[in-house]
């Protein structure tokens, strides 16, 4: 019986040591492999207003992802995530039809990001922006 207790005690010690070793090796490796935080990941993006004529769109990188700014025919501005809500492809702006088409599975969205047709389950995410002195600031 004494032997059994000793075995159990040693097994617990060995288990504890192994667990510590796994953490000591695993944590640095995880941190090494984890995506690096870019300095401007949460930064703002500035677009001069003249770069967006009526009916036009401008794609840009925002918070580590792709976004798009659209000026509708009426002159209203909309900032959206350009990542299709179906399987993550980047939507394309169709100037003639004034809508977004996802080339992967033919999902269509209005300039407001609402789903018109195809498989996307949700509208494109809207992004906050302000316009001041002829400059659009997203974020």
Partner 1 sequence: MGLFKIILDWLDRRIGVREIVAKELTGYLLPRNINVWYSMGSILLFIFGLQVVTGILLLIHYVPDADKAFKSVTFIMNDVPFGWLIRMCHAVGSNMMVLILLFHMLSVLFMGSYKKPRELNWLSGFILFNLIMGISLTGYLLPWSQLSFWATSVATNSAGSIPVVGPFLVEFLRGSKLVGPATLGRFFALHVAVLPLAIAGLIGAHLFFLKRTGISTPPFGLKESGNQWQGDIYRYEDHPGGIPFFPNYALQDATSIALYLAFFLAVVFFDPYLFFTRESFVAANPFQTPAHIKPEWYFLANYQTLKIFPNELIGLSLQGAAMTFLALLPFIDRGSERHPLKRPLFMAAAMGGIILWIGLSIWGHYS
Contact residues: partner 1, CB under 8 A: 28-29, 31-34, 36
User: Quick one: 2 or 33, whose CB is closer to partner 1?
Assistant: 33
**What Rg do the C-alpha atoms of the chain give, in angstroms?**
25
Burial of 75 (0-12, 13-18, 19+ CB in 10 A): exposed
Sheet containing 129-132: which strands, arranged edge to edge? 45-48, 135-138, 129-132
**Residue reference for tokens 């918070």:** 63
User: Quick one: 14 or 54, whose CB is closer to partner 1?
Assistant: 14
User: Quick one: 27 or 46, whose CB is closer to partner 1?
Assistant: 27
**Residue reference for tokens 């792709």:** 66
Task: Give min distance, CB of 129 to partner 1, in A.
Answer: 31
Task: Give min distance, CB of 21 to partner 1, in A.
Answer: 10
Task: Give min distance, CB of 27 to partner 1, in A.
Answer: 8
Task: Give min distance, CB of 9 to partner 1, in A.
Answer: 15
User: Quick one: 28 or 56, whose CB is closer to partner 1?
Assistant: 28
How many helices and strands (H and E) does the chain possess? 1, 10
């Amino acid at each position: 019986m004494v032997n059994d207790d000793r075995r159990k005690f040693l097994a617990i010690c060995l288990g504890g040591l192994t667990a510590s070793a796994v953490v000591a090796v695993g944590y640095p490796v995880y941190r090494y492999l984890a995506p690096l935080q870019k300095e401007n990941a949460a930064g703002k993006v500035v677009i001069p207003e003249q770069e967006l004529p009526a009916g036009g769109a401008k794609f840009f990188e925002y918070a580590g992802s792709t976004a798009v700014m659209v000026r509708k025919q009426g002159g209203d501005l909309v900032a959206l995530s350009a990542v299709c809500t179906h399987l993550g492809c980047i939507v394309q702006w169709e100037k003639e039809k004034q809508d977004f088409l996802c080339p992967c599975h033919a999902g269509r969205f209005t300039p407001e990001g609402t789903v018109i047709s195809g498989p996307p389950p949700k509208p494109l995410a809207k992004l906050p922006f302000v316009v001041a002195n002829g400059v659009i600031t997203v974020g």
